[in-house]
Amino acid sequence: MAKRLNFLILLSLFIIPILPTIVLPYILPSSQIIEIMTNKFAPIKTLTINQHTKIKDLHQKKETAFGEMISLSSPYLYRSEIPGQPGKRLIIHNNSKTMRIVNERLTYDEESYDFIYRFFLLSHDPERLLAMLNEVGIDTDKVSLTRFEGTIAYLIGGKNEENARLLVDKELFFPLLLKYGDYRFRFSNYIEFMEHTWYPFQIVYSYKGEIIEEYTVMDIKANLPIDVSLFDILLIRNNFIQSKLKQQEE
């Protein structure tokens, strides 16, 4: 009996020190991860960004760089344009619709999720943001831990590389990567541009594994008043069409 007791004591002394190493880490549910992430950007109602944009034309194998002005208003308003040259490149997103004017041509005027990555970084309703992730194919019921470029992150979505997914820094709760369909957005170089408020000064947009556009923040201001008519797709489309008709008449 004494030998059995001594054996059990020795066994417990051996097992207890290794228990912490075999206990699995607690993983937050996606709803809580998204809520904490959105709280990081809750102070940001509007953004005015002066950015350096670099576009790669894979067909012609050339690269174009220019300055671009970005206007964002929570929750779903986005506008980008080349200052003084709106006909060169003008993109407006309002709720679920996107309009693009490139080189004086209306190239896109439909519904899209192209700018969901921008709305992560504004004041947003966590439940609606979670629903948007589901809408683009991310399985928000699946959450795991992964390592991304040396950073431990929460992975929301499937673990396979082809799966739609969102990666969120485990410690800072900043979005690191968004992938759905053939689209991939990488967020990096987070800088505190006002007290307790951070923003990724580098965003890389890839399509089918190829880098298409890179955005680098040159200047950023939050919560300035923005004229909502800047996001009125119907008004701007009609003005553009009228302008083209007038040019043709002349």
CATH number of domain containing 85 = 2.50.20.10
pLDDT at 11 over 90: no
pLDDT at 10 over 60: no
pLDDT at 15 over 90: no
Residue 64 lies in a domain: yes
The region of weakest confidence among 71-80, 111-120, 194-203, 238-247 is 238-247
Q: Give pLDDT, residue 58.
A: 65
Q: Nearest 5°: phi and psi at 139?
A: -80, 95
pLDDT tier at 86, thresholds 50, 70, 90: confident
Residue 53 lies in a domain: yes
Q: Give pLDDT, residue 4.
A: 55
Q: Give pLDDT, residue 19.
A: 47
- Give the tens place of pLDDT for each residue, 211-247: 999 999 999 999 999 999 999 999 999 999 888 887 7
Residue 157 lies in a domain: yes
- Give the tens place of pLDDT for each residue, 92-138: 999 989 999 999 999 999 999 889 999 999 999 999 999 999 999 99
Residue 166 lies in a domain: yes
Arithmetic mean of pLDDT, 55-77: 88
Token couple for 84: 């003084």
Q: Give pLDDT, residue 151.
A: 96
Residue 192 lies in a domain: yes
User: Amino acid identity of 76?
Assistant: Y
Q: Which domain holds residue 145?
A: 26-243
Please give the tally of structural domains in the chain: 1
Residue 67 lies in a domain: yes
Please indicate whether residue 248 or residue 55 has the higher confidence score (pLDDT): 55
**pTM of the model as a whole:** 0.86
Residue 19 lies in a domain: no
- Give the tens place of pLDDT for each residue, 138-180: 999 999 999 999 999 999 999 998 999 999 999 999 999 999 9
Task: Report yes or no: 106 and 87 within 8 Å, Cβ to Cβ.
Answer: no
Q: Give pLDDT, residue 108.
A: 95
For residue 149, give the nearest of 202, 213, 207 by alpha carbon: 202
Residue 11 lies in a domain: no
User: Amino acid identity of 199?
Assistant: Y
pLDDT at 206 over 80: yes
